[in-house]
Amino acid sequence: MKSRNAKIGVGAVAALALLVSGERAIANDFYAGKTINFIVGTDVGGGFSIYGRLLARHLGRFIPGAPTIVMKNMPGAGGATASSYFYRIAPKDGTVIGSVAPNAILGRLLDGNVSQYDPAKFIYLAGAERGTRLCMTFEHSKTKTFADALRQRTVIGATSAGSPTREYAAMVKHATGAQFEIVSGYKGPPDLFLAMSRGEIDGVCGLDWTALKSQQPDWLRDKKLNLLVQASMAPHPELAKLGVPVPWPFIKNDTDRRAVEVMVGFEQAFGKSYLVPPETPADRVAILRKAFAAVLKDEEFLAEAAKLRIEITAQSGEEVQRVVERAYASTPDVIERLRKIVEP
Protein backbone atom coordinates (compact mmCIF):
# COMPACT_ATOMS: atom_id res chain seq x y z
CA MET A 1 0.00 0.00 0.00
CA LYS A 2 2.82 2.35 0.93
CA SER A 3 4.51 1.54 -2.36
CA ARG A 4 1.31 2.33 -4.28
CA ASN A 5 0.84 5.66 -2.42
CA ALA A 6 4.46 6.54 -3.00
CA LYS A 7 4.03 5.93 -6.72
CA ILE A 8 0.91 8.15 -6.77
CA GLY A 9 2.82 10.87 -4.91
CA VAL A 10 5.75 10.72 -7.33
CA GLY A 11 3.33 10.80 -10.23
CA ALA A 12 1.54 13.86 -8.83
CA VAL A 13 4.81 15.71 -8.35
CA ALA A 14 5.90 14.83 -11.89
CA ALA A 15 2.56 15.99 -13.28
CA LEU A 16 2.82 19.26 -11.37
CA ALA A 17 6.35 19.78 -12.63
CA LEU A 18 5.18 19.20 -16.20
CA LEU A 19 2.33 21.65 -15.70
CA VAL A 20 4.61 24.37 -14.30
CA SER A 21 7.21 23.83 -17.02
CA GLY A 22 4.45 23.92 -19.60
CA GLU A 23 3.15 27.24 -18.25
CA ARG A 24 6.67 28.67 -18.29
CA ALA A 25 7.14 27.52 -21.87
CA ILE A 26 3.89 29.21 -22.89
CA ALA A 27 4.98 32.41 -21.12
CA ASN A 28 8.42 32.30 -22.71
CA ASP A 29 6.91 31.73 -26.16
CA PHE A 30 4.42 34.57 -25.73
CA TYR A 31 6.84 37.33 -26.71
CA ALA A 32 8.22 35.64 -29.83
CA GLY A 33 7.34 37.88 -32.78
CA LYS A 34 5.60 40.40 -30.52
CA THR A 35 6.07 44.17 -30.16
CA ILE A 36 6.19 45.77 -26.72
CA ASN A 37 5.12 49.41 -26.62
CA PHE A 38 7.30 51.28 -24.15
CA ILE A 39 5.29 54.41 -23.39
CA VAL A 40 6.90 57.36 -21.62
CA GLY A 41 4.45 59.85 -20.16
CA THR A 42 6.65 62.92 -20.63
CA ASP A 43 7.92 65.21 -23.37
CA VAL A 44 10.39 63.92 -25.98
CA GLY A 45 13.27 66.06 -24.72
CA GLY A 46 13.15 65.13 -21.02
CA GLY A 47 15.21 62.82 -18.85
CA PHE A 48 12.53 60.13 -18.81
CA SER A 49 12.80 59.90 -22.60
CA ILE A 50 16.58 59.61 -22.43
CA TYR A 51 16.31 56.64 -20.07
CA GLY A 52 13.41 55.16 -22.03
CA ARG A 53 15.23 55.24 -25.37
CA LEU A 54 18.30 53.64 -23.82
CA LEU A 55 16.28 50.84 -22.21
CA ALA A 56 14.26 50.27 -25.39
CA ARG A 57 17.50 49.61 -27.28
CA HIS A 58 18.66 46.89 -24.85
CA LEU A 59 15.70 45.38 -23.00
CA GLY A 60 14.55 43.03 -25.78
CA ARG A 61 17.78 41.03 -25.53
CA PHE A 62 16.73 39.83 -22.08
CA ILE A 63 13.12 38.85 -22.83
CA PRO A 64 12.57 35.29 -24.12
CA GLY A 65 11.39 35.51 -27.72
CA ALA A 66 13.36 38.74 -28.28
CA PRO A 67 10.36 41.01 -28.92
CA THR A 68 10.73 44.38 -30.63
CA ILE A 69 10.61 47.29 -28.17
CA VAL A 70 9.11 50.51 -29.54
CA MET A 71 9.29 53.66 -27.42
CA LYS A 72 6.53 56.25 -27.69
CA ASN A 73 5.86 59.51 -25.83
CA MET A 74 2.48 60.35 -24.32
CA PRO A 75 2.91 63.67 -22.48
CA GLY A 76 0.09 65.50 -20.75
CA ALA A 77 -1.13 66.63 -17.32
CA GLY A 78 2.18 65.89 -15.61
CA GLY A 79 1.99 62.19 -16.50
CA ALA A 80 -1.70 61.72 -15.64
CA THR A 81 -2.63 61.25 -19.31
CA ALA A 82 -0.29 58.30 -19.72
CA SER A 83 -1.15 56.89 -16.29
CA SER A 84 -4.85 56.93 -17.11
CA TYR A 85 -4.10 55.16 -20.41
CA PHE A 86 -2.12 52.43 -18.63
CA TYR A 87 -4.89 51.95 -16.10
CA ARG A 88 -7.99 52.09 -18.29
CA ILE A 89 -7.09 51.41 -21.92
CA ALA A 90 -3.71 49.71 -22.39
CA PRO A 91 -3.68 45.94 -23.05
CA LYS A 92 -3.18 44.00 -19.81
CA ASP A 93 -1.15 41.25 -21.45
CA GLY A 94 2.44 42.37 -20.91
CA THR A 95 2.81 44.16 -24.26
CA VAL A 96 2.75 47.65 -22.76
CA ILE A 97 5.37 49.01 -20.35
CA GLY A 98 4.94 52.44 -18.81
CA SER A 99 7.18 55.12 -17.44
CA VAL A 100 5.73 58.19 -15.69
CA ALA A 101 7.16 60.95 -13.54
CA PRO A 102 6.90 60.35 -9.78
CA ASN A 103 4.49 63.28 -9.41
CA ALA A 104 1.93 61.39 -11.52
CA ILE A 105 1.92 58.71 -8.80
CA LEU A 106 2.12 61.09 -5.84
CA GLY A 107 -0.52 63.38 -7.37
CA ARG A 108 -3.33 60.92 -6.70
CA LEU A 109 -2.32 60.91 -3.05
CA LEU A 110 -2.65 64.69 -2.97
CA ASP A 111 -5.97 65.04 -4.76
CA GLY A 112 -7.51 61.82 -3.44
CA ASN A 113 -9.04 61.11 -6.85
CA VAL A 114 -8.40 57.56 -8.03
CA SER A 115 -11.23 57.50 -10.56
CA GLN A 116 -8.80 57.90 -13.47
CA TYR A 117 -6.19 55.55 -12.05
CA ASP A 118 -5.09 54.08 -8.72
CA PRO A 119 -1.27 54.06 -8.44
CA ALA A 120 -1.38 51.34 -5.77
CA LYS A 121 -2.84 48.92 -8.32
CA PHE A 122 -0.12 49.31 -10.93
CA ILE A 123 2.46 46.52 -10.99
CA TYR A 124 5.98 47.92 -10.78
CA LEU A 125 8.79 46.22 -12.67
CA ALA A 126 11.97 48.07 -11.69
CA GLY A 127 13.64 51.38 -10.99
CA ALA A 128 16.67 52.64 -12.90
CA GLU A 129 17.70 55.77 -11.03
CA ARG A 130 17.30 57.79 -7.83
CA GLY A 131 16.77 61.37 -8.96
CA THR A 132 17.90 64.66 -7.46
CA ARG A 133 15.95 67.66 -8.71
CA LEU A 134 17.27 71.20 -8.83
CA CYS A 135 16.28 74.84 -8.99
CA MET A 136 18.59 76.85 -11.25
CA THR A 137 18.93 80.17 -13.03
CA PHE A 138 20.78 81.17 -16.20
CA GLU A 139 24.01 83.15 -16.12
CA HIS A 140 22.37 86.52 -16.91
CA SER A 141 19.98 86.33 -13.93
CA LYS A 142 20.58 88.58 -10.93
CA THR A 143 19.68 85.58 -8.76
CA LYS A 144 22.96 83.71 -8.47
CA THR A 145 22.41 81.86 -5.19
CA PHE A 146 19.53 80.58 -3.10
CA ALA A 147 20.19 83.42 -0.66
CA ASP A 148 19.46 85.79 -3.56
CA ALA A 149 16.22 83.91 -4.31
CA LEU A 150 15.06 84.41 -0.72
CA ARG A 151 15.27 88.20 -0.98
CA GLN A 152 14.50 89.14 -4.58
CA ARG A 153 11.93 88.39 -7.29
CA THR A 154 12.99 85.50 -9.54
CA VAL A 155 10.91 84.46 -12.56
CA ILE A 156 10.73 80.66 -12.75
CA GLY A 157 9.37 78.95 -15.87
CA ALA A 158 7.23 75.81 -15.68
CA THR A 159 5.24 73.49 -17.90
CA SER A 160 1.76 72.21 -17.02
CA ALA A 161 -0.09 71.82 -13.73
CA GLY A 162 1.08 68.69 -11.95
CA SER A 163 4.49 68.67 -13.64
CA PRO A 164 7.74 68.52 -11.62
CA THR A 165 8.77 71.96 -12.95
CA ARG A 166 5.64 73.56 -11.52
CA GLU A 167 5.28 71.52 -8.31
CA TYR A 168 8.93 71.88 -7.26
CA ALA A 169 8.92 75.63 -7.90
CA ALA A 170 5.77 75.98 -5.79
CA MET A 171 7.08 73.68 -3.05
CA VAL A 172 10.35 75.59 -2.69
CA LYS A 173 8.52 78.93 -2.83
CA HIS A 174 5.99 78.12 -0.12
CA ALA A 175 8.19 76.01 2.17
CA THR A 176 11.26 78.28 2.19
CA GLY A 177 9.94 81.73 1.30
CA ALA A 178 11.87 81.98 -1.97
CA GLN A 179 10.58 84.97 -3.99
CA PHE A 180 9.63 82.91 -7.04
CA GLU A 181 7.19 84.22 -9.62
CA ILE A 182 6.06 81.08 -11.44
CA VAL A 183 5.17 81.37 -15.14
CA SER A 184 3.54 78.20 -16.52
CA GLY A 185 2.70 77.11 -20.06
CA TYR A 186 6.02 75.98 -21.56
CA LYS A 187 5.89 72.67 -23.45
CA GLY A 188 8.92 70.94 -22.01
CA PRO A 189 12.61 71.21 -21.04
CA PRO A 190 13.79 72.34 -24.52
CA ASP A 191 11.39 75.31 -24.42
CA LEU A 192 12.43 76.14 -20.87
CA PHE A 193 16.11 76.07 -21.82
CA LEU A 194 15.40 78.37 -24.77
CA ALA A 195 13.40 80.77 -22.59
CA MET A 196 16.25 80.91 -20.08
CA SER A 197 18.85 81.62 -22.75
CA ARG A 198 16.66 84.39 -24.23
CA GLY A 199 16.13 86.03 -20.85
CA GLU A 200 12.35 85.45 -20.83
CA ILE A 201 12.69 83.76 -17.45
CA ASP A 202 15.41 83.64 -14.83
CA GLY A 203 15.37 79.89 -14.40
CA VAL A 204 13.53 76.67 -13.70
CA CYS A 205 12.95 74.17 -10.90
CA GLY A 206 12.31 70.42 -10.89
CA LEU A 207 14.86 69.37 -13.51
CA ASP A 208 16.81 66.23 -12.72
CA TRP A 209 20.58 66.49 -12.18
CA THR A 210 21.39 63.35 -14.15
CA ALA A 211 19.24 64.42 -17.09
CA LEU A 212 20.69 67.93 -16.97
CA LYS A 213 24.22 66.56 -17.34
CA SER A 214 23.07 64.73 -20.47
CA GLN A 215 20.97 67.56 -21.90
CA GLN A 216 23.19 70.56 -21.23
CA PRO A 217 26.77 69.41 -20.69
CA ASP A 218 28.16 72.53 -22.39
CA TRP A 219 26.20 74.87 -20.13
CA LEU A 220 27.50 73.05 -17.07
CA ARG A 221 31.07 73.00 -18.39
CA ASP A 222 30.94 76.73 -19.20
CA LYS A 223 29.24 77.56 -15.88
CA LYS A 224 26.22 79.13 -17.56
CA LEU A 225 23.88 77.81 -14.87
CA ASN A 226 23.56 78.95 -11.28
CA LEU A 227 22.52 75.87 -9.29
CA LEU A 228 20.45 77.31 -6.44
CA VAL A 229 19.23 74.35 -4.37
CA GLN A 230 19.07 70.55 -4.61
CA ALA A 231 15.92 68.73 -3.55
CA SER A 232 17.59 65.79 -1.86
CA MET A 233 17.18 63.97 1.45
CA ALA A 234 20.98 63.95 1.77
CA PRO A 235 23.35 66.07 -0.33
CA HIS A 236 24.23 64.56 -3.70
CA PRO A 237 28.06 64.19 -3.65
CA GLU A 238 28.63 65.97 -6.99
CA LEU A 239 26.31 68.83 -6.10
CA ALA A 240 27.76 69.13 -2.61
CA LYS A 241 31.21 69.63 -4.16
CA LEU A 242 29.71 72.43 -6.25
CA GLY A 243 28.36 74.06 -3.11
CA VAL A 244 24.66 73.52 -3.91
CA PRO A 245 22.65 73.55 -0.66
CA VAL A 246 19.77 71.27 0.36
CA PRO A 247 16.50 73.00 1.36
CA TRP A 248 16.27 71.79 4.97
CA PRO A 249 18.04 74.71 6.72
CA PHE A 250 15.64 77.12 4.99
CA ILE A 251 12.42 75.37 6.10
CA LYS A 252 11.43 76.67 9.53
CA ASN A 253 8.02 75.02 10.00
CA ASP A 254 8.05 71.38 11.16
CA THR A 255 4.91 70.36 9.24
CA ASP A 256 6.29 71.98 6.10
CA ARG A 257 9.51 70.04 6.57
CA ARG A 258 7.69 66.71 6.93
CA ALA A 259 5.55 67.50 3.90
CA VAL A 260 8.60 68.29 1.77
CA GLU A 261 10.28 65.12 3.05
CA VAL A 262 7.34 63.05 1.75
CA MET A 263 7.63 64.55 -1.73
CA VAL A 264 11.42 64.61 -2.00
CA GLY A 265 11.88 61.19 -0.39
CA PHE A 266 9.26 59.59 -2.60
CA GLU A 267 10.49 61.14 -5.84
CA GLN A 268 14.11 60.27 -5.11
CA ALA A 269 13.29 56.65 -4.30
CA PHE A 270 10.77 56.26 -7.14
CA GLY A 271 13.09 57.91 -9.68
CA LYS A 272 12.90 56.42 -13.17
CA SER A 273 10.55 53.51 -12.48
CA TYR A 274 8.67 51.20 -14.85
CA LEU A 275 5.26 49.60 -14.57
CA VAL A 276 2.61 47.52 -16.30
CA PRO A 277 -1.18 47.84 -16.03
CA PRO A 278 -3.14 46.12 -13.25
CA GLU A 279 -4.13 42.51 -13.93
CA THR A 280 -1.12 41.80 -16.16
CA PRO A 281 -0.54 38.02 -15.87
CA ALA A 282 1.92 37.05 -13.13
CA ASP A 283 4.08 34.93 -15.43
CA ARG A 284 4.67 37.89 -17.76
CA VAL A 285 5.34 40.22 -14.86
CA ALA A 286 8.00 37.75 -13.68
CA ILE A 287 9.58 37.68 -17.15
CA LEU A 288 9.69 41.47 -17.40
CA ARG A 289 11.03 41.94 -13.87
CA LYS A 290 13.79 39.45 -14.58
CA ALA A 291 14.60 41.20 -17.87
CA PHE A 292 14.85 44.62 -16.19
CA ALA A 293 17.06 43.19 -13.45
CA ALA A 294 19.38 41.78 -16.10
CA VAL A 295 19.55 44.81 -18.38
CA LEU A 296 20.25 47.22 -15.51
CA LYS A 297 23.49 45.37 -14.73
CA ASP A 298 24.43 44.57 -18.34
CA GLU A 299 27.90 45.86 -19.30
CA GLU A 300 26.86 47.01 -22.79
CA PHE A 301 23.86 48.91 -21.39
CA LEU A 302 25.93 50.51 -18.61
CA ALA A 303 28.64 51.54 -21.07
CA GLU A 304 26.10 53.38 -23.21
CA ALA A 305 24.60 54.98 -20.10
CA ALA A 306 28.05 56.27 -19.18
CA LYS A 307 28.46 57.80 -22.65
CA LEU A 308 25.12 59.56 -22.21
CA ARG A 309 26.26 60.83 -18.78
CA ILE A 310 23.30 59.27 -16.99
CA GLU A 311 23.44 57.40 -13.69
CA ILE A 312 21.97 53.94 -13.17
CA THR A 313 20.82 52.85 -9.71
CA ALA A 314 18.90 49.60 -10.09
CA GLN A 315 15.91 48.80 -7.91
CA SER A 316 13.64 45.78 -8.05
CA GLY A 317 9.95 46.03 -8.81
CA GLU A 318 9.20 44.89 -5.27
CA GLU A 319 11.28 47.76 -3.85
CA VAL A 320 9.44 50.33 -5.97
CA GLN A 321 6.10 48.83 -4.91
CA ARG A 322 7.07 49.37 -1.26
CA VAL A 323 8.03 53.00 -1.96
CA VAL A 324 4.53 53.67 -3.28
CA GLU A 325 2.92 51.92 -0.31
CA ARG A 326 4.95 53.97 2.21
CA ALA A 327 4.00 57.27 0.59
CA TYR A 328 0.32 56.34 0.67
CA ALA A 329 0.63 55.60 4.40
CA SER A 330 1.53 59.26 5.20
CA THR A 331 -0.54 61.03 7.88
CA PRO A 332 -3.44 63.29 6.78
CA ASP A 333 -1.99 66.53 8.22
CA VAL A 334 1.24 66.13 6.28
CA ILE A 335 -0.59 65.30 3.06
CA GLU A 336 -2.89 68.31 3.52
CA ARG A 337 0.10 70.61 3.95
CA LEU A 338 1.92 69.11 0.95
CA ARG A 339 -1.25 69.59 -1.11
CA LYS A 340 -1.16 73.32 -0.27
CA ILE A 341 2.51 74.01 -0.81
CA VAL A 342 2.68 72.42 -4.27
CA GLU A 343 -0.17 74.62 -5.53
CA PRO A 344 1.37 77.63 -7.31
Write out pLDDT tens, residues 99-141.
998 889 988 988 888 889 999 999 999 999 888 999 999 999 9
Instruction: Enter the DSSP assignment of 158.
Output: -
225-250: per-residue pLDDT in tens? Answer: 999 999 999 899 999 999 999 999 99
Pick the CATH number of 11-130+270-341 from 3.20.20.70, 3.40.190.10, 3.40.190.150, 3.40.50.360: 3.40.190.150
Tell me what pLDDT residue 11 has. 53
Residue type, 174: H
CATH 3.40.190.10 is held by the domain 133-266 = yes
Determine how β-strand 273-276 pairs with β-strand 154-157: unpaired
Burial class (CB in 10 A: 0-12, 13-18, 19+), 308: middle
Q: What is the pTM of this model?
A: 0.76
Domain with CATH 3.40.190.150 in the chain: 11-130+270-341
Q: Which of 96, 105, 104 is nearest to 56 (CA)?
A: 96
pLDDT at 72 over 70: yes
7 or 280: which carries more pLDDT confidence?
Answer: 280
Cβ–Cβ under 8 Å, residues 123 and 275:
yes
Q: How confident is the model at residue 283, as a pLDDT?
A: 97
pLDDT per residue as tens digits for the range 204-227: 999 999 889 989 999 999 999 999
Q: What's the pLDDT score for residue 188?
A: 87
In the chain, ranges of CATH 3.40.190.10 domains: 133-266
Q: Are 71 and 38 in contact (CB under 8 A)?
A: yes
CA distance 328 to 178: 28
